[in-house]
A and B are shown apart, each in its own frame.
Chain A
Amino acid sequence: MTEPDDGRAAIRQAVSVSLATGLYGVSFGALAVAAGLSLPQAMALSLLMFSGGSQFAFVGVVGAGGAAGAAIATAGLLGVRNGLYGPQVAPLLGVRGWRRVAAAQLTIDESTAVATAHSGRRASRLGFWWTGVGVFVLWNTFTLLGALLGDALGDPRKYGLDAAAAAAFLGLVWPRVTGRNARRAQLVAAGAVAVALLTTPFVPAGIPVLLAAIVAILAGMLTPAEPSRTEAPA
């Protein structure tokens, strides 16, 4: 990434990231249908919400019988980090009007990661747009395939789709609780699991997950900063 024009490298990276991410749209589509959503609803989530963590969470709360408010709050809270990516990518893109609206919708983990991995402005822009559009197209295509597959399967438990949903969340959280500088994240994860399980018998579905978020807010706001400032943005 030292060449002044590493646009090709950015595009290559964008394509591989798009393929890898797009593929697991299959699991989202299948799980959405297994949770009781219709095929159009699964498609609408991928088109309109377009943020993996929020989508899986929405479906998880709906599948558990949670209320609409809990589903909206959980999906929204998981979408907060996309809001934090904006200030990183907006100066690189320098767009206005409808392009800014499009850029906002495409601002997710993957497009931000590729855009900020390149030093040249041109490569950053190419990386952002190719990754954003690439993931969008493939994520939606594979959501449709997964939803069709899920529809054809019938009882989701027979095929272990409920366990697949748990594994999907584990896969999403894994990079954030492993590696160096993850001690605080591990403690928060353990606290969140404890709060969610201990409150489950006493409150409506969907609420235990929101109560777990309080653990993170307390840990983030009340504890002093870590000495090293290498914490990943999300």
Chain B
Amino acid sequence: MSPAVTWVALVVASAVCFALKLAGHLVPEHWLAQPRVARTAALVTVALLSALVAVQTATTGRAIVVDARLPALLVAAVALALRAPFIVVVVLAALTAAGLRALGMP
């Protein structure tokens, strides 16, 4: 994306996100009270975030790639299981990948 296109996408995406927030304040409560709607929205969040984990860890462009990101993600998972704070998890993953790459791993 060129900088100009990125700006347009950024502003449109932000407007969409704000419109969703405002809509929640304006619609009658019972519209969204159906459990199926809330449940589906929660699952969409899970699916998008999980897919982003996979794509961010194991792909480069259109190729499936295994490199230092995978062990870094495993370290992050262990840190999360041990209830480490978010920032610690992120930093540990970065340090793991940086360390492995310094040792020659792609």
User: Which residues of A pack against B, CB within 8 Å?
Assistant: 20, 23-24, 26-27, 37-38, 41, 44-45, 48-51, 53-54, 56-58, 60, 62, 64-65, 67-68, 71-72, 74-87, 89-91, 100-101, 103-105, 107, 157-174, 176-177, 184-185, 188-193, 195-197, 200-202, 205, 208-209, 212-213, 215-217, 219-221, 225, 229, 231-234
Contact = CB atoms under 8 A, between A and B. Distances in A.
B43 A219 contact: yes
B104 interface: no
B39 A220 contact: yes
B49 A86 contact: no
B81 to A, nearest CB: 8
A57 B48 contact: yes
A108 B23 CA distance: 13
Contact of B89 (A165, A170, A219): A170
A190 B11 CA distance: 32
A223 to B, nearest CB: 9
Given A104-B25, A160-B97, A171-B80, A193 B51 contact: yes
Given A75-B16, A76-B17, A105-B18, A166 B56 contact: yes
B13 A54 contact: yes
B35 A160 contact: no
Contact of A160 (B22, B42, B95): B95
A104 B101 CA distance: 43
